[in-house]
Amino acid sequence: VHLVFFKNIECPCVNGKQLLDNLDDLCEQAKHSLPYVTDGTVIEVINDKVKSYMSHNERHNHWQIAKKSVGEIADVRVQGVEWAVGRNKITPVLLLEPTWLSGALIKRVTAHHAGNVKSLGLGEGALISITRSGEIIPKIIGAIESVAPSIPTHCPCCNQPVQWVNDAITCTFEGCSERQVSAIEYHFAVLKADLFGRQTVRRMVANGYTSLSSVYSITYEQLLSVSYTHLT
């Protein structure tokens, strides 16, 4: 990781008319002058009096704005859909033909929720356009060729009926093991606690530690025993 402070980056300085007349060219100039991958350009007022007049809110400076850019785009076929059971929804993940994009081999991309699958017609055989958001995270831009989507009516984990909640489907069974795993994993992720990855938490749930209270009551010896239990 190479930390670069914004104030240390050399940037073109122009007046308002030059900015509006040459915005795209200036953004390209700023992008290609850096030895780092970027996903956009920050445009900033540098006159202190104007900055003071424009002020800020709780989240943003009004004298700064980001102009995002779309990176490299690829059209790729969907080979299948996996449905991942989470604590609040069942998330569709598209399995893709392995495709090189912005220097990385992309094999999977999230479709976020069942509503996307339904509205875009996503499924095996569909042709979609993808990019890498921020040159990092694979992201669906849209569908070029749609298919008739297949959306689960029962949970892929416990086989209990699912229900629609807005655009998402969710498992209705509180005792679903993957829902329990997701809830415990999410809790420790929020706490930024180590050693509670998904496979470890799956072992805990498989050994009867299905709630936060039971996990917090686990002893060191029990934790070691669970950690070395192989899932089948």
Whole-number pLDDT of residue 53? 93
Count H helices and E strands in the chain, helices first.
Answer: 8, 9
pTM for this predicted structure: 0.68
Specify the 3-state DSSP secondary structure of 64. Answer: strand
Residues of the chain where predicted confidence (pLDDT) is lower than 50: 232
pLDDT at 11: 82
Residue-wise pLDDT for 32-43, tens only, equals 777 777 777 889
The reported pLDDT for the residue numbered 70 is 67
Looking at residue 45, its pLDDT comes to 92
Name the 3-class secondary structure at 117: helix
What is residue 68's predicted lDDT score, i.e. its pLDDT? 76
